[in-house]
């Protein structure tokens, strides 16, 4: 039986994050398909502080073996942001990249050491997301066994660090979530490893809008934002646009997710905090459209969640991934500034039949490309190809 090690910075119940959710979903499904999977991770649950939360050592969750290693240094996010701003303002020759990745974290020397010590136990290693120290330093610890990476990359400053380039050169196969992500990694690194557009699966559970409306007393029409509410997510443009839109149309703006920045206390803006997964699906189902404002995405799971409920999107046209979903899925409209946001929002509000057509088209796009059965078939086929070529160089030189 093939033995795989999945390496990810956080893992487990209550852990929320794109790469972390992908790692868990895939680990459980791959294990159920008869492949031996061990997850190597840290004891952290919160990506803001990396504070130790889960017990150190070995455990099992839904049939998947987990090896957890402690984080040595917790992170103060404000201090790190100041350090990071100074770091990227320095000339390349003066940057201490080791120090940046240690502060970025999660800093777990025991995890890095274990990757080296336990290498012989596994046939291959699958790493999730390029951005954190367990991947950047962990990949470089593996000397003999093949390495697969889900980069979950978008165009940001850390992608261009020399240590990231060094790590990418060691990877034998890259699995991507979108064509836009694959194009970015190809452009920046010209990798020699095999490349495959695997994507990810998403649960396709149609849900009624009634549960969300009744629980939270929602009466008026609304647009929805679901995700982290923080700087860098493009919300400032939406706030400016919504102020003008609200003067013309009676439309509330509902936000759900973790709040890490202040929101204006204005009529129509309603922050509801965390909601359950069922409530989130219901919230998407009841929205006139969902807002997808982030300029940097490697997947945008909330776009797919919106499409599952046949709800169109209004998305940031400066994000290549959101443009890809919108173009291929024909499931929404794009904007590039507050004025265009207002124009396209008005169009979607006023054109019910077109809005519904977009929602149906987006739903079909998800059904075609993001079914778990399709993703699992692609993943297992690629892993089997890896297995059959462990003893030669075909894996390293294969084409997509």
The tens digit of pLDDT for each residue in 4-13 reads 999 999 999 9
DSSP 52: B
Q: What pLDDT score does 388 carry? A: 73
43-83 residue pLDDT tens: 999 999 999 999 999 999 999 999 999 999 999 999 999 99
- At the topology level, CATH places domain 210-369 in Rossmann fold (3.40.50)
Rounded distance, CA 132 to CA 103, Å? 10
Residue 148 host element (H or E): strand 147-150
Q: Where in the chain is the domain with CATH 3.40.50.2000?
A: 3-201+371-397, 210-369
126-185 residue pLDDT tens: 999 999 999 999 999 999 999 999 999 999 999 999 999 999 999 999 999 999 999 999
Q: What is the CATH number of domain 3-201+371-397?
A: 3.40.50.2000
Rounded distance, CA 241 to CA 317, Å? 15
Residue 400 has pLDDT above 50, yes or no: no
Residue 398 has pLDDT above 90, yes or no: no
Residue 14 has pLDDT above 80, yes or no: yes
259-281 residue pLDDT tens: 989 999 999 999 999 999 999 99
Diameter of the chain measured on Cα atoms: 66
203-221 residue pLDDT tens: 889 899 999 999 999 999 9
Sequence-ordered list of residues with C-beta below 8 angstroms from that of 108, at least 6 positions apart, any chain: 42, 69, 70, 71, 72, 133, 134
Token reading at 352: 């019910």
């Amino acid at each position: 039986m093939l033995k795989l090690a999945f390496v990810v910075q956080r893992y487990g119940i209550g852990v929320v994050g794109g790469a972390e959710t992908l790692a868990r979903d895939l680990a459980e499904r791959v294990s159920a398909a008869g492949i031996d999977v061990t997850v190597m991770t840290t004891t952290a649950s919160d990506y803001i502080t990396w504070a130790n939360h889960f017990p150190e050592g070995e455990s099992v969750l839904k049939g998947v073996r987990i090896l957890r290693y402690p984080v040595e240094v917790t992170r103060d996010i404000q201090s790190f942001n100041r350090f990071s701003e100074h770091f990227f303002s320095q000339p390349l020759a003066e940057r201490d990249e080791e120090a940046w990745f240690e502060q970025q974290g999660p800093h777990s020397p025991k995890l890095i050491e274990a990757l080296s010590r336990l290498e012989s136990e596994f046939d291959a290693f699958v790493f999730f997301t390029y951005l954190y120290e367990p991947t950047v330093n962990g990949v470089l610890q593996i000397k003999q066994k093949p390495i697969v990476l889900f980069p979950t990359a978008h165009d940001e400053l850390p992608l261009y660090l020399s240590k990231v380039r060094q790590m990418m050169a060691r990877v034998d196969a890259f699995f991507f979530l979108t064509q836009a992500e694959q194009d970015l990694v190809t452009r920046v690194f010209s990798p020699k490893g095999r490349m495959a557009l695997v994507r990810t699966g998403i649960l396709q559970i149609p849900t009624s809008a009634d549960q969300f409306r009744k629980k939270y007393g929602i009466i008026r029409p609304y647009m929805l934002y679901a995700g982290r509410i923080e700087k860098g997510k493009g919300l400032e443009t939406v706030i400016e646009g919504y102020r003008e839109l609200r003067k013309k149309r009676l439309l509330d703006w509902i936000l759900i997710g973790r709040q890490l920045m202040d929101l204006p206390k204005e009529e129509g803006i309603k922050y509801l905090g965390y909601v359950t997964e069922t409530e989130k699906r219901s919230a998407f189902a009841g929205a006139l459209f969902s807002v997808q404002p982030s300029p940097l995405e490697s997947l945008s799971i909330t776009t797919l969640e919106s499409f599952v409920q046949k709800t169109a999107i209004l998305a940031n046209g400066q994000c290549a991934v959101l443009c890809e979903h919108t173009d291929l899925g024909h499931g929404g409209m794009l904007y590039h500034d507050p004025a265009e946001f207002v124009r396209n929002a008005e169009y979607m509000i006023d054109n019910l039949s077109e809005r519904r057509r977009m929602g149906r088209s987006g739903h079909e796009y998800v059904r075609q490309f993001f079914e778990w059965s399709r993703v699992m078939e692609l993943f297992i086929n690629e892993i089997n190809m890896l297995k059959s070529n462990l003893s030669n160089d075909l894996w390293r030189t294969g084409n997509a």
